[in-house]
Structure 1
Amino acid sequence: MRTKKICIYNAQIILPDKVVRGHILIEGHKISEVAENSFPSVKCYSDTTVIDAEGCYVMPGMIDLHSDAIEKEIQPRPNTLFPINMSFYELEKKLAVSGITTMYHSLSLSDEWGVRNTDMVINIINSINRLKQTRSMINHKIHLRYELTFLTGVSVLEGLVRDKRIDFMSYMDHTPGQGQFKDAEALKDFTIQSYGKNEREVEDSMDKIIENQARIDWLKLISLAKIAKSKGIRLASHDDDTRGKIDKLLAYEGTVSEFPINLETAVYARSKGIHVCVGAPNIIRGKSHSNNMKAIDAITNNAADIVCSDYLPSAMLPAVFHLTKEGINLTEAVKMVTLNPAKALGIDSEVGTVEVGKCADLIFVEMHQDYPILRKTLVGGNIVFQSDFQAFNTERVENIC
């Protein structure tokens, strides 16, 4: 059986430090050659797919380390649940079209309602791990978000970590009065709107959260973080609003601070070598939906180095090119959705750059009226999405030798 070969030429290739015009050769699932300012010689390649990328940037596929889009796909409205397999297959089409080639599906272990019910979360994890083995367009991984005040959930998390059924995890604390929801009323309104519960139910839940916060077993969390590290599972913290929380993350040997609430905390995290992740929707909208730190402020102050989709995968690619309008170099903006998350997650030896030996996860981007349009997505050398347009030419070359 012949190894599949692809030759991409006339490409504006986005490398970590520069943009070059050249060509890329792919053999099987890996990149075998990246050459600058040269036209490939394909005379020694038979049965090669040749792709003319004229007018397009070719960059690494994006890595999204935090997105609860799968939750939105399963439960688009309160008390309205759709089958997990349908949600998985429909969402991955949207991800491929958005240029996301590796998705860390964010699921919340928080003893809440609907899609965040513990039994439902376990079912989703098991389903994704099963479905990705049988048929998938992109790389699917699990990011489990553990709510620290869900005291009985720590044993559930430990079981998932020991069995390595998750790939990334984060500790989060949504106790009202701190973090994301300094205003308790804002948390109550958000919960009522999200889950369709009445005010009394939500208030009872919030009272339980406040009571449980004082009973968190911090030593157990440190121990669990060490077990996760031994399994190759990286750890993040969520909605940090003080230096003290970053110090806790360092004690856990965590690698990422997600959505810090203020610039001071973000700057401190980066000074300690922690990756800081901000949301693409925040970049596009120019503000946080919770009126916290503006993502662009963190980025322009060198206090954030990763961009995730948060809840809207389609915002990722536009956010990258929006950053260039804010004075961020294109290569640096691209690294925020490729190489930097790969490093934070420990997968940078496999993905994150256009480099020989790495997986051929690539996306083709055409700028149309100053807006990025995705034209093609490759995952492991397989074309999983393609949008035809006049300047885009794909031809099959058979038996050239």
Structure 2
Amino acid sequence: MTETLFKNASIVLPDEVIHGSLLVRDGVIADIASGAAAGGGEDMGGDTLIPGLVELHTDHIEGHYLPRPRVRWNMMAALQAHDAQIAASGITTVFDALRVGMDEDAQLGSEDMRAMADTIEAASEEGRLRADHFIHLRCEVSAPDVTESFEVISGGKRVRLASLMDHAPGQRQFVDLDTYRTYYQRKMKMTDVEFEAFCHRRVAESEANSAPNRRAIAQACLSAGIAIASHDDATAEHVREGAELGITLAEFPTTAEAAEHSVKAGMLVLMGAPNIVRGGSHSGNISAAALLDNGTLDILSSDYVPFSLVQAAFHLVESGSLDLPAAIHLVSTNPAKAARLDDRGAIAIGRRADLVRVRRAPGMPPLVAGVWREGARVA
């Protein structure tokens, strides 16, 4: 039996903040007490102690594996580098989003994704990772090979979540064709003629493949016990379709209407933490802050910047938008609930001792000064 006492801390509980101590026994929170604690232990120096953050959708790992065009890094080394940044950002549970369904703009292929999934599974089994890693399959339902690729990867025991997405122009994330042009034409260095042909191909693929692939993957997820998320819903019809497919998580809705209908359908609504930090969507869609004001925001995801998760939570506190317990619900409690991980997501007796020490200073981003996963320090 191992015990660690964390004392002299500002402890963020589900509904309040107390100054006191926290006892960890064999990786689980065994006791929480207000006031000073006698004896040895980890002195937090008055710093804030929050539960480990739970990240549901980040494809940040791809940048470590493909750091430059046509440069592929050792996959295990890339995963470990990604994992180190995740843990140092206060994230103790992460769902690595791997793309399923490839098209002409993809720099990585299905074989890369399968190898990455295998690497995550192996590294987790070998205890090589600081954070607890699961796999999120982000399924491009307009791609002809999406169901075949899904079947190849979805059997892994770390696969817990799948999202259904369609990035064809003129709908969902890219209703605004100028935004689509800015993103894809510049990225792929296409002429105007090439871009027009590219758009026609994308729309044709979407019309031919999206509906049947969406249904097939949703059914496979339900059969396998994999949670399902929608992606970039824009209309009430999108939400209705998702509800019929068994979707319980609405990722990045692009309009207030879609977010409101998602909540009414019993879905949890997820938006990007960078959206909060930057003050708006980089695609020109609804802001996360607007959804928060409407009462239709449940979860934040770091998306493409791991540190944005803790940064956004404390930004919301500093701006007066939320108190600290409510902000932590967005980045730990609610995502754990969405992922059906009932053993984490809050500082409470009996929960995993996934803990983050945060040092705060006025006008500065929060400093992650220590991270523990099941009571063992990992950052």
Tell whether the structures are fold-level matches, with TM greater than 0.5.
yes
Match of 1:212 in 2: 205
**Superposition deviation, residue 115 in structure 1:** 4.3
Match of 2:377 in 1: 383
- The amino acid across from 1:60 in the alignment is P
Change (3 A) 1:85 1:196: farther
Match of 1:121 in 2: 113
Is residue 2:67 matched to residue 1:76? Answer: yes
Unaligned runs of 5+ in 2: none
Match of 2:332 in 1: 338
**Superposition deviation, residue 232 in structure 1:** 2.9
Match of 1:244 among 237, 257, 260: 237
- Contact map agreement 2:140 2:164 (CA 8 A) in 1: yes
| Distance across 2 between alignment mates of 1:326 and 1:284 | 14
Match of 1:399 in 2: none
Q: TM-score, with normalisation over the residues of structure 1?
A: 0.87
**Superposition deviation, residue 216 in structure 1:** 2.8
Match of 2:31 in 1: 33
Change (3 A) 1:220 1:67: closer
| Distance across 2 between alignment mates of 1:209 and 1:312 | 28
**Superposition deviation, residue 78 in structure 1:** 3.5
CA offsets per residue over residues 36-75 of structure 1, 9 Å max, x none?
34636x6xxxxxx710112211110001101111112222
| Distance across 2 between alignment mates of 1:29 and 1:192 | 50
Match of 1:145 among 138, 141, 151: 138
Is residue 2:268 matched to residue 1:275? Answer: yes
Unaligned runs of 5+ in 1: 43-48, 386-401
Q: Matched residues, percent identical?
A: 30
CA offsets per residue over residues 135-155 of structure 1, 9 Å max, x none?
111111111100110122212
| Distance across 2 between alignment mates of 1:248 and 1:93 | 38
| Distance across 2 between alignment mates of 1:240 and 1:38 | 49
Change (3 A) 1:191 1:85: farther
| Distance across 1 between alignment mates of 2:209 and 2:175 | 19
Aligned-partner SS, 2:30? strand
Change (3 A) 1:51 1:164: closer
Change (3 A) 1:241 1:24: same
**Superposition deviation, residue 116 in structure 1:** 3.6
Q: TM-score, with normalisation over the residues of structure 2?
A: 0.92
What are the equivalent positions in structure 2 for 1:263-302 lying under 5 Å apart? Answer: 263-302=256-295
| Distance across 1 between alignment mates of 2:177 and 2:308 | 29
Greater shift after overlay, 355-364 or 199-208?
A: 199-208
| Distance across 2 between alignment mates of 1:91 and 1:197 | 31
**Superposition deviation, residue 205 in structure 1:** 4.5
**Superposition deviation, residue 97 in structure 1:** 1.2
- Contact map agreement 2:8 2:21 (CA 8 A) in 1: yes
